[in-house]
Structure 1
Amino acid sequence: MGRGPALFLCEHASNAIPARYAGLGLRDEDRASHAAWDPGALALAKRLAEALDAPLVAGTVSRLVYDLNRPPEAASAMPVQTETVAIPGNAGLSPEARAQRTRDIYDPFCAAVTGTVVTRKTLGTPFALVTVHSFTPTWFGKPRAVEIGILHDADSRLADYMLEEASRLPGRRIARNDPYGPEDGVTHSLKLHGIGNELPNVMIEVRNDLLADETGIETIAGELLTLLRPALAGLGLTETDNA
């Protein structure tokens, strides 16, 4: 396991829908779209984890089956609609069906994160929690100008340091809690796995048109490391010799 200064999560890494859910009644184009996952996020998270010698825990099913960045009690954990996409297979779910999905998908993911946190803490090298996401360039037809969002909840330490470094990326549109913020319910993982474990934490959102190919992913990874490395160092979290 990596001993670097971070633990990465990628909750929306996959658009896979297990056969038992019968595709949730979705059209093929919707299953392939950003509605079902965060395109480019897993590849980006892998680049960052490799660069920082850090472990990565990633989701393996579509967020439309269960959104791992939502608590079980949230309606959006198993949404019936996202933007203009209806999810027929989530309509009218019984409490028992919701509980089964929680046991099958959410609980194992949380257990994997907790196990990784515990193991990392036993290694004695301090670290932060970083979650990696991507977002669509338009939402309900409205263009989004921001390119990189640096999101946080009550603990803004890592986000503050990263935003202090934003001037090192002139021309890149970087913003705090944009295009989402705590009021949108997107900081569940930060609160549960970050604040809950007393870890500095941040959520990174990248506009997915910037992650459309390998070149874009490498470029954005390099830019994020320009923000992350000094930010982690500012918190006293240093890279290991083999990073």
Structure 2
Amino acid sequence: MQGNPNRDESDTVEVINPTGRGAALILCEHASNHIPARYDGLGLKEGDRQSHAAWDPGARAVALALSRALDAPMIASKVSRLVYDCNRPPEAPSAMPERSEYIEVPGNRDLSETARAERVRAVYAPFCDAVSTLIAARKAENLGTHLITIHSFTPLYYGQPRDCEIGILHDSDNRLADAILDEAHRLPDRVIRRNDPYGPEDGVTHSLKLHGIAHGLPNVMIEVRNDLLVGAEAQAAMTDELLMLLHPAMAKLDQTSPGGTHA
């Protein structure tokens, strides 16, 4: 790779700080609202392309800041989740949704198997390959790894307000989520909840299962309400708050896990 040795990029996935030796691996599946030209904008209105339906506003900035603070590798999708949602398996209808809340996605309507397979090859497979490569490299170096995926969510969903501010999500492996929730007292003014505003029943834990549970890695999905991530100052403040939870949670888990947090 030429250029910055701390950054590796393809058309659809970016890998930042791949040689980071901190105890975390950061994923950001919904980091971008970019729609490659070959998909003709998916037939979306410009406002819809900028909306939360197309990406998780503020999530990439927080993920990047956490990567720096934790000396953690970070992997992010560079393509809108409306093209392909890297937190969904290929067989899931929501991997290439025809509708997101009130927004219709004409370019995803009646996709052929060939068209679906092309998006899997172009977007999903490179993301998964990048994650698998990093996990294998870290295991080879005997580096303990906590898998952390960073997302944001809209304050209103189908017109209903959400009072949750930080969601700590998990599937069958709740080790890291429990350790984080045990530290929630450090942020007494925040509304922090388990598996809210989504949970496993909503199909949102694919990355946790595929990249975390399957490799025996402690894992968690962190959802932040996106009105708390408007602008660089708010993003930096939220990063600091999340670090107040993550630092002691990961340290506690490392102390109680024989042999560290690698499989």
Q: TM-score, normalised by structure 1?
A: 0.97
Q: Which residue of 2 aligns with 1:226?
A: 244
Partner of residue 54 from structure 1, selected from 55, 61, 72: 72
Question: CA shift at 1:14, angstroms?
Answer: 0.4
2:21 matched to 1:3? yes
Q: 2-side partners of 1:118 and 1:19: how far apart?
A: 33
- Letter matched to residue 143 of structure 1: P
Q: TM-score, normalised by structure 2?
A: 0.89
Partner of residue 123 from structure 1, selected from 135, 141, 154: 141
- Letter matched to residue 167 of structure 1: H
| Match runs of 1:66-85 below 5 Å | 66-85=84-103
Question: CA shift at 1:110, angstroms?
Answer: 0.4
2:154 matched to 1:139? no
Q: 2-side partners of 1:159 and 1:21: how far apart?
A: 37
| Match runs of 1:170-209 below 5 Å | 170-209=188-227
2:235 is paired with a residue whose SS is helix
Question: CA shift at 1:89, angstroms?
Answer: 0.1
- Letter matched to residue 28 of structure 2: C
What is the percentage of aligned positions where both structures have the same residue? 63
2:175 matched to 1:157? yes
Question: CA shift at 1:202, angstroms?
Answer: 0.2
Question: CA shift at 1:100, angstroms?
Answer: 1.1
Say if 1:3 and 1:123, in contact at 8 Å, map to a contact too.
no
2:100 matched to 1:114? no
The ranges of structure 1 where at least 4 consecutive aligned residues each deviate by more than 3 angstroms after the TM superposition are none
Partner of residue 90 from structure 1, selected from 76, 90, 108: 108
- Structure 2, gaps ≥5 residues long: 1-18, 256-263
Q: 1-side partners of 2:95 and 2:143: how far apart?
A: 33
- Letter matched to residue 228 of structure 1: L
2:167 is paired with a residue whose SS is strand
1:102 is paired with a residue whose SS is helix
Question: CA shift at 1:92, angstroms?
Answer: 0.4
Say if 1:80 and 1:88, in contact at 8 Å, map to a contact too.
yes
Question: CA shift at 1:228, angstroms?
Answer: 0.5
2:222 is paired with a residue whose SS is strand
Q: Which residue of 1 aligns with 2:8?
A: none
Q: Which residue of 1 aligns with 2:11?
A: none
Q: Which one scores higher on RCO, CA 8 angstroms, separation ≥ 6?
A: 1
